[in-house]
Amino acid sequence: MRITINQQCKTPYFRQITNQIKAMILKGEVPGGTMLPSERVMAELCHVHRNTVIKAYHELKADGFITSSQGKGYMTVYRQQEEMCVPEPVNWNCLIRSQVQDMETTYDLLFSRSYQNTSISFAGGMIAPEIYERKAMNSIQRLLAQRAEDQPLLVDAYRYTHHQGMVELRNQLALFFQGKGISIGAGQIQVVSDSNQAIDFLVEMLLKNGDVVFVEEPTSPDLYRTLQLKNIKVLTVPTDSDGILVSAVESMIQKHHPKIICVHSGYQDPSGVSTTLERRKELLELCYRYGIPILEGDDSSELYYNGEQPVSYLALDRGNAVIHVYSFDLTFTPGVRLACVLGPRQVIDNMSKIVAMRLTCFDSLSQMVLYQCLKNGIYDEALRKMRDLYRRKRDLMYEQLQPLFEMGATCRLPEGGVFLWIRLPDDTVRIDKVRKFAEKRGVLFVPGFLFFPYGTGGEQFIRLNFSFASEEQILEGIPLLIEAVKEAMEE
């Protein structure tokens, strides 16, 4: 079977393949029951991507010219197809988008293994399980259940809630953010399940295919993968020890015309860097000049160990240019997933339309639990405990890493957050080898290349989380990790 691709023709490649195979079948040049080349072989013969062949074969199946069966491949048929009893399974490879099938999943697998208690995990960014005492959380839920029984019209933790979030919770959140220098009302707050969901809704509302978005580099895989799945072009802005390099942003704006600039409000994942106040003000002025909004993510600004809490872009904003996504992932009890979006009233009103269409309402029980913890001071008390505990864990992990530093590794002690960002001592050592040897010893970490959207950096970095593991696990696991690095260097 000879297929010729005319690269000068405006007809798509898959359509050229489809038309030529149809013609061969109709002319009788390819008899019924002929096995077609596999998707991969046909792609090589035509010098096209495999997805192009998949699309062509899918068209031929839809038109009744070929059929397929698992384990056999694709076979030509004639009009007698109706008389045949050959089952035709769904070709899921053709239906599932290639961006999803090709997605890097190492980050997700490491995170899911972090809470399975089969290893010492420095991989996941998670809250220490001992912060929120189970007894206290159980008492809150019993209280809510009792109130729901006694006063069902006033307090019912099991009722439907407003699609923007429970008004009691939004009022309490407004008071909480006022303490952070953010003057905002309940009408400017949208409750969501987590920051990823918030990004998903905001992208749907504000962006379209092909739009350009700037993100800091390194950056969280959760952010750039969400953008890429929506066919948004992600461009990275370099950072240094003082945060995002604002000096590089203006020339990039003039060249690429981004729709949004995404920044981290607290201590950036994975580097632990917090952008200086001076640079935050400079970036805001730049955005005012070019009319570009800032999307600010915050999951760690409360976790500061030296000095003062970082001032958010939203608190500095005087031009209605900032959308602030505040996540409770790192600061509230595990198992209760909540976040909120703060922004101009027009943004929140229109985002609420999408939420109403997609979800109707959110988990009311989780909202009531968070409301009680904010109102009764439990959340603030937990933050104080977290800062004390995490500062101790951070210092302990950093101290245990001294032998690695003596070998030439480097790490800037972060002033907040939950991660250490470590450059390994030897540029020739392969991170996959270190990871293999570490997992053999029962230790998990996240390789640095996952935080670079285009894989152009981070090959010599690893990210270690110090919030989730116990102090005993840190004392046990860090020496094992160092052993793994040594083994990889020797090999």
Q: Which amino acid is at 259?
A: K
Six token digits for residue 100: 């999803």
Cβ atoms 270, 235 nearer than 8 A: no
Residue in the structure block whose two tokens are 């955005």? 287
Q: How many CB atoms lie within 10 A of CB 112?
A: 12
Q: pLDDT at position 146, please? A: 58
My answer on whether omega of the bond before 453 falls inside 30° of 0, hence cis, is no
Six token digits for residue 57: 């074969």
- Separation CA 482–CA 480 (nearest Å): 5
For residue 75, give the H/E element and its range: strand 73-76
Q: What does pTM read for this prediction?
A: 0.77
Angle of CA points 98, 103, 105, to nearest 5° = 150
Average pLDDT, the chain: 87
Note the residue count of the chain: 491
Mention the CATH class of domain 134-380: alpha beta
- Separation CA 421–CA 271 (nearest Å): 5
- Separation CA 246–CA 110 (nearest Å): 33
- Separation CA 233–CA 488 (nearest Å): 36
Six token digits for residue 280: 């935050």
DSSP designation for 317: -
Residues of the chain with pLDDT under 70: 78-88, 102-103, 107-108, 111-117, 133-159, 360, 455
Q: What is the pLDDT of residues 148-195, one digit of tens each?
A: 555 444 445 566 778 899 999 999 999 999 999 999 999 999 999 999
Query: Is 106-126+381-490 in the same CATH topology as 13-96?
Result: no
Q: pLDDT at position 453, please? A: 87
Q: What is the pLDDT of residues 449-484, one digit of tens each?
A: 999 988 677 889 999 999 999 999 999 999 999 999
What are the residue boundaries of the structural domains of the chain, listed by start?
Answer: 13-96, 106-126+381-490, 134-380
- Separation CA 269–CA 36 (nearest Å): 49
- Strand 189-192 and strand 339-342: pairing? antiparallel
Six token digits for residue 328: 């409770």
- Separation CA 348–CA 298 (nearest Å): 17
Domain 13-96, second-level architecture: Orthogonal Bundle (1.10)
DSSP notation for 62-127: HTTSEEEETTTEEEE--GGGGG--------HHHHS-HHHHT---HHHHHHHHHTSSSSEE-SS---
- Separation CA 370–CA 337 (nearest Å): 10
Give the CATH fold of the 106-126+381-490 domain.
Aspartate Aminotransferase, domain 1 (3.90.1150)
How far from each other are the two terminal CA atoms of the chain, in whole angstroms?
A: 49
Q: How many CB atoms lie within 10 A of CB 395?
A: 13
3-state SS track over 333-368: CCCCCCEEEECCHHHHHHHHHHHHHHCCCCCHHHHH
